[in-house]
Homo-oligomer: A and B are copies of this chain.
């Protein structure tokens, strides 16, 4: 399914993935009148193109044809996604001694862990669509998706064990533990729709920021940087991850299904707490009342009427813009963490990735 000779595969040309992200970011810059950022992106494209191609070549060679378990995994991995986490590993390594096979392994590993969590998430959430296609569990069943997640996790850990020092593996296990804890909190809160910022940020920290943190730490360590410097990179990763999730939340209320690969307001309809909704609840009595009702009757799915109330509340409180502003603050702080590093292409590229993450429209 992932062989590079398969014309129908979304991954058929292993070289297209990373430049796709970059082209799309460049388009965003142009539309926002940020031509100089757009020009920087062209330079960055050269820098990461070959690294990301190595990642895709490795993924393409995984035995995704063997059985339903591997096919489940392959289906998700082949859908591509943004490969933003592997790109973080690559760029962080280029702040040090640069990209090589060991770094490639770490970049692949972070994508595999990400995909493993998505496979288990889709079983848990009974998710039907992801990345514009049916989920693996729809195509191959829940059982195959559960074992596929297990498999990708184990493969990722094998790569990290063979290619990095013990602290890199240790921190990955710590981050996965944090991700599971976030899932556990979310599960315990299910059916009690709670408008709590503390709870929201705890979950984003665990579910999204954790892996970005590790990607930056692992890339830096793999590139020979000292632990202390890698901890600054880790803080960059955390800020990037928070911003990434906040923008994801914002997009749910402003995007169109063609661009997002899912219906707008899908998060709301699924009863998923998002930051714009928190802002609206804080500032709009109707939204607050709606969420209080939802918290009481243990129903976490919202219909058309609720969507309308929320849409009004979001507009009244300017919640999407507030969310994007908060994302921007996280990105500013993330970029400030890079101040101790010498100026150069990798540092500029990381800055661009962070800025563009907030500007993206998909």
Contacts and interface: CB of A to CB of B under 8 A. Distances in A.
A200 interface: no
A182 to B, nearest CB: 10
B154 A173 contact: yes
Contacts of A177: 151, 154-155, 158
Contacts of A123: 142-143, 146
Copies of the chain in the assembly: 2
A361 interface: no
Interface string A255-269: 000000000000000
Contacts of A188: 67-68
A250 interface: no
A66 interface: yes
Contact of A180 (B69, B142, B180, B185): B69
Nearest to A174: B158
Contacts of A69: 180, 183-184, 187
Nearest to A188: B67
A289 interface: no
A37 B157 CA distance: 43
A144 interface: yes
Contact of A68 (B68, B176, B184): B184
A272 to B, nearest CB: 15
Interface string A303-317: 000000000000000
A180 B145 CA distance: 12
A162 B177 CA distance: 15
A210 interface: no
Nearest to A123: B146
Contacts of A157: 157, 173
Interface string A144-162: 1011011101110110011
Interface residues of A, number: 36
A303 B16 CA distance: 55
Contacts of A180: 69, 147, 150-151, 154
A166 interface: yes
A83 interface: no
A238 interface: no
A161 B173 contact: yes
Interface string A55-68: 00000000000111
A70 interface: yes
A88 B37 CA distance: 61
A120 interface: yes
A212 B168 CA distance: 28
A170 interface: yes
A187 B120 contact: no
A120 B151 CA distance: 12
A327 interface: no
A104 to B, nearest CB: 19
Nearest to A146: B120
A226 interface: no
Contact of A143 (B149, B158, B187): B187
A336 interface: no
A173 B147 CA distance: 14
Given A147-B183, A153-B153, 10 more contacts: A66-B184, A69-B184, A70-B184, A120-B146, A124-B146, A124-B147, A144-B187, A147-B180, A147-B184, A150-B150
